[in-house]
């Protein structure tokens, strides 16, 4: 017997009955305006109404107790706060997104048979087919959308060489990130030039940091498990204490960016700990630091820190007291990025979780602060990573996956590269996002760029600049 799947769940005891009420397509409302003295009207807009599907269903019960159990299970299954996937066995490959409204109307009993009608409200008035993925065989390719309505594409561009911009077009519509180069007046340049990188797989080039180079006591020993830096031993101390290691940069930097990928897995409410990254000058003075901390006993509560200056003379871009809209639990069970940079006199800090499957940044916070007085403009020469325990409290799983330091190059008439070979640029026309390696770069969205749709039928897609990308597109065909 035919059945249905709702919220990705199929109940083996429910089956479809005849009599489904569903319009062939969503109702269209034409909005018009009339002009005095002119016959007829002007069409101003078209609105698509939601779809309502009324589906008779039946099930068999053994006794009154079993019937009550089934009713409770139905109520739990069919109640959702948001639209969820709805699939009918007799409409293979088609998915709707629905909520249930009203109740199981016209509920009837015939011996062991129970039947009634479920009313599904389809707010997004389309059906969706399975996801399609197409790989570009050249910079220009033809994609045939089999749906009867436009679809929202997601383009992924694997970068083959440095580019100052990336553009994808469909006929006279285009989307673009970055800026093309005027060869007569401009030169491309690498704004972020990586000068130091450690993947956490070995301790080569690292030495134990010295007292005063981190807040708290340096104790214990840092080790690597072949992929991350972590504490082999935290040592002892009444307050913050733990291992810290230091590496020297190839040269001192005035304009720089330091980025660390870290883990801070504080799922146990008893966990207290911190993971930190410092930048020092040539003689070991603290210039800035980034941190994740949980200092609250009895519940998990991670907060971030981004500080310029040392422990006594400083300014905080991000701290426990100015976490802004972030909830105390936003960065719990953290796997992601800590970053701080100085571009001339502008400091910018960034903290984000990174989805381990998609690589997409989320739970983000970015804060900038100009140093108008020039108090925190000393050059940096060393980087320190540190994990710590407070007293004898239980520590979370805390580790540093990798650390990178970049020199920020400046060019008044140049155009910076936005991506290098191996990077991935994503034009997500479904969620209106522009991503580079999973990080939101919508601030670089080019004027005039649009998050266009794939029309039903033929779509001629072109990527620019030429021979710069391995491109692909994925989308779900949409049906009226």
pLDDT band at 329 (very low <50, low <70, confident <90, very high): confident
Looking at the fold, whether 453 and 402 belong to one and the same domain comes out as no
pLDDT band at 111 (very low <50, low <70, confident <90, very high): low
Q: Is 15 domain-assigned?
A: yes
Look at 99-113, 195-209, 245-259, 339-353 and tell me which has the smallest mean pLDDT.
99-113
Looking at the fold, whether 331 and 199 belong to one and the same domain comes out as yes
Among residues of the chain, what percentage have pLDDT more than 90?
82
Looking at the fold, whether 469 and 384 belong to one and the same domain comes out as no
Neighbours of 76 (CB within 10 A): 8
Helix (DSSP H) and strand (DSSP E) numbers for the chain:
1, 39
Looking at the fold, whether 425 and 439 belong to one and the same domain comes out as yes
> Smallest Cα–Cα separation from 215: which of 270, 277, 296, 283?
277
- What mean pLDDT is reported for the chain? 94
> Smallest Cα–Cα separation from 192: which of 359, 400, 419?
419
Looking at the fold, whether 331 and 234 belong to one and the same domain comes out as yes
Q: Is the pLDDT of residue 107 over 60?
A: yes
Structure tokens that stand for 256 in this block: 């720089």
- Number of domains within the chain: 3
pLDDT band at 416 (very low <50, low <70, confident <90, very high): very high
Task: Give the domain-ending residue among 384, 408, 432.
Answer: 408
Task: Give the domain-ending residue among 408, 432, 460.
Answer: 408
Looking at the fold, whether 200 and 347 belong to one and the same domain comes out as yes
pLDDT of res. 346: 97
Looking at the fold, whether 103 and 20 belong to one and the same domain comes out as yes
- pLDDT tens per residue, range 146-205: 999 999 999 999 999 999 999 999 999 999 999 998 888 889 999 999 999 999 999 999
Q: Is 14 domain-assigned?
A: yes
Looking at the fold, whether 78 and 197 belong to one and the same domain comes out as no
Tell me which residue range forms the domain holding 100. Answer: 4-127
Q: Is 278 domain-assigned?
A: yes
Task: Give the domain-ending residue among 127, 151, 174.
Answer: 127
Q: Is 187 domain-assigned?
A: no
Looking at the fold, whether 160 and 268 belong to one and the same domain comes out as no
Mean pLDDT of 416-427: 97
Q: Is 73 domain-assigned?
A: yes
Looking at the fold, whether 63 and 144 belong to one and the same domain comes out as no
Residues in a beta bridge with 42: 33
Domain of 12, CATH number, reads 2.40.30.200
Distance CA 291, CA 285 (A): 17
Domain of 368, CATH number, reads 2.60.120.200
Domain of 461, CATH number, reads 2.60.120.860
Burial grade of 181 (CB within 10 A; 0-12, 13-18, 19 or more)? middle
Looking at the fold, whether 362 and 459 belong to one and the same domain comes out as no
């Amino acid at each position: 017997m035919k059945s249905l799947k709702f919220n990705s769940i199929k109940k083996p005891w429910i089956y479809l009955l005849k009599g489904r009420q569903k319009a062939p397509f969503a109702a269209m409302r034409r909005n018009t305006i009339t002009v005095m003295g002119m016959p007829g009207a002007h069409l101003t807009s078209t609105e698509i109404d939601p779809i309502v599907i009324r589906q008779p269903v039946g099930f068999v019960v053994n006794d009154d107790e079993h019937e009550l159990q089934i009713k409770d299970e139905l109520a739990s299954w069919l109640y959702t706060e948001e639209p969820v996937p709805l699939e009918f066995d007799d409409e293979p490959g088609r998915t709707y997104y629905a909520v249930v409204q009203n109740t199981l109307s016209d509920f009837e009993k015939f011996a062991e048979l129970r039947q009634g009608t479920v009313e599904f409200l389809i707010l997004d008035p389309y059906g969706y087919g399975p996801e399609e993925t197409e790989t570009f065989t050249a910079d220009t390719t033809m994609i045939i959308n089999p749906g009867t309505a436009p679809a929202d594409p997601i383009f992924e561009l694997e970068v083959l060489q440095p580019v100052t911009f990336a553009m994808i077009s469909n006929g006279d519509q285009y989307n673009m990130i970055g800026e093309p180069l005027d060869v007569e007046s401009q030169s491309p340049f690498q704004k972020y030039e990586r000068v130091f990188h450690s993947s956490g797989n070995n301790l080569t080039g690292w030495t134990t940091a010295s007292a005063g180079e981190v807040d708290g006591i340096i104790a214990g020993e840092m080790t690597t498990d072949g992929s991350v830096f972590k504490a082999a031993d935290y040592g002892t101390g009444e307050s913050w204490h733990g291992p810290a290691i230091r590496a020297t940069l190839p040269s001192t930097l005035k304009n720089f960016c330091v980025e660390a990928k870290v883990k801070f897995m504080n799922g146990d409410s008893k966990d207290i700990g911190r993971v930190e990254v410092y930048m020092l000058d040539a003689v070991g003075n603290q210039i800035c630091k980034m941190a994740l901390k949980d200092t609250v006993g009895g519940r998990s509560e991670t907060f971030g820190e981004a500080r310029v200056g040392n422990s006594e003379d400083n300014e905080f871009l991000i701290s426990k007291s100015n976490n802004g809209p972030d909830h105390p639990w936003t960065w719990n069970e953290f796997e992601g990025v800590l970053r701080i940079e100085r571009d001339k006199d502008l400091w910018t800090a960034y903290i984000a979780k990174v989805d381990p499957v998609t690589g997409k940044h989320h739970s983000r916070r970015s804060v900038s602060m100009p140093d108008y007085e020039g108090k925190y403009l000393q050059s940096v020469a060393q980087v320190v990573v540190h994990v710590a325990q407070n007293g004898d409290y239980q520590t979370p799983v805390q580790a540093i996956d990798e650390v990178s330091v970049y020199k920020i190059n400046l060019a008044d008439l140049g155009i910076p590269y936005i991506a290098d070979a191996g990077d991935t640029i994503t034009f997500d026309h479904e969620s209106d996002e522009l991503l580079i390696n999973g990080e939101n770069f919508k601030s670089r969205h080019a004027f005039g760029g649009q998050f266009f749709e794939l029309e039903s039928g033929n779509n001629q897609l072109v990527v620019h600049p030429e021979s710069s990308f391995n491109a692909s597109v994925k989308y779900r065909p949409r049906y009226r």
